[in-house]
Amino acid sequence: MTAVTTRSEQAAPAGDGYTVVKAKHPGRWLAAAVIVVIAGLLARSVMTNPNFGWDVVGLYLRDVSIGRGILVTLGLTAISMAIGIVLGVVFAVMRLSVNPVVRSAAFAYVNFFRGTPVLVQLLFWFNLAALYPVITLGIPGVELDANQLITPMTAAILGLGLNQGAYMSEIVRAGILSVDHGQTEAAEALGITRMQTMRRVVLPQAMRVIIPPTGNETIGMLKTTALVSVISVPELLYSAQIIYARTFETVPLLIVASLWYLLITSILTIGQYYLERRFARGNQRNLPPTPLQQLKRFFARHDALSLKGSKK
């Protein structure tokens, strides 16, 4: 009890003899209690319902074909994002061009790929052979069989990468526009050409604006790759589907896939959080606390001994 008195009834810093009684927050504790009860009930239902098939989940969580599916998912995410970022920069610069034809072409690209569902785009690429059975690329002597060239994997990479390029170009464009025009003028006044200015002066400063949403897009992409299961690319979801088509253990295998998606996105989220903190450096005097720091601070404020009140 002495701890309670010393924590909730501290002498004012001025040392003028008054005892300061801290504010009480019964509402906060009530809300926390309600949430804990609901969460408990939910957890009990999940644990006791046999239809979840947790033993099957445990069995397949480390299955080899699921593991291969994860690798395909990760690879597809990385390649598609890489293509998307490169295309994004190119089309963002094109959209800011002084040439109206170049500008319009970039706008048309963004508009087309943002304006149609990515699922439809994937199916289009997959069925490219129906449109162009032979791909010549306009070069005489080059005749490629579209059916051999467009495997499910290439269709997936093309579809996801081109679609991502449209979204990335908007992100990069916003980043470029966020850089003060005076920077470009200063570079031009020094005789630095437009392309050099973009590369050395504007883009490095635009990164602060570009990085956070790009992290978001990467996490989004990881989940979007599940769509390519419709063109039978053996990524994580499709690998799970193959197994439950054989064993009929649909729900446990969907849980397996979900758990893996959740784990990977969680890791990416943590990575993104620290990346954002890094790029906010120098622009904010006080960085927001990390979740760990926040948790520590919360318990320092609301620790069990000071149930009767807390610091403001």
Q: Would you tell me which residues interact with another protein (CB under 8 A)?
A: 180, 182-183, 185-194, 196, 200-201, 204-205, 282
* Alpha helices per DSSP H over the chain: 2-8, 26-48, 54-60, 64-95, 100-115, 118-126, 128-131, 146-149, 152-177, 181-189, 194-197, 203-224, 236-247, 250-280, 291-301
The least distance separating another protein from the CB of residue 187, rounded to whole angstroms, comes to: 8
> How far is it, in rounded angstroms, from Cα 178 to Cα 210?
10
> How far is it, in rounded angstroms, from Cα 92 to Cα 100?
14
> How far is it, in rounded angstroms, from Cα 166 to Cα 293?
37
The least distance separating another protein from the CB of residue 193, rounded to whole angstroms, comes to: 5
Q: Which is nearer to another protein, 62 or 285 (CB)?
A: 285
* Alpha helices per DSSP H over 49-127: 54-60, 64-95, 100-115, 118-126
Q: Which is nearer to another protein, 9 or 180 (CB)?
A: 180
The least distance separating another protein from the CB of residue 200, rounded to whole angstroms, comes to: 7
> How far is it, in rounded angstroms, from Cα 295 to Cα 290?
9
Q: Which is nearer to another protein, 56 or 187 (CB)?
A: 187
Q: Which is nearer to another protein, 197 or 306 (CB)?
A: 197
Q: Are 215 and 276 in contact (CB under 8 A)?
A: yes
Name the nearest CA neighbour of 202 among 167, 174, 165: 174
Q: Which is nearer to another protein, 206 or 233 (CB)?
A: 206
The least distance separating another protein from the CB of residue 283, rounded to whole angstroms, comes to: 9
Task: Give exposure, 103-128, as e/b (b: 16+ Cβ within 10 Å).
Answer: eeebeebbeebeeeebeebbeebbeb
Q: Which is nearer to another protein, 128 or 192 (CB)?
A: 192
The least distance separating another protein from the CB of residue 206, rounded to whole angstroms, comes to: 10
Q: Which two tokens stand for residue 309?
A: 């009140």
The least distance separating another protein from the CB of residue 211, rounded to whole angstroms, comes to: 13
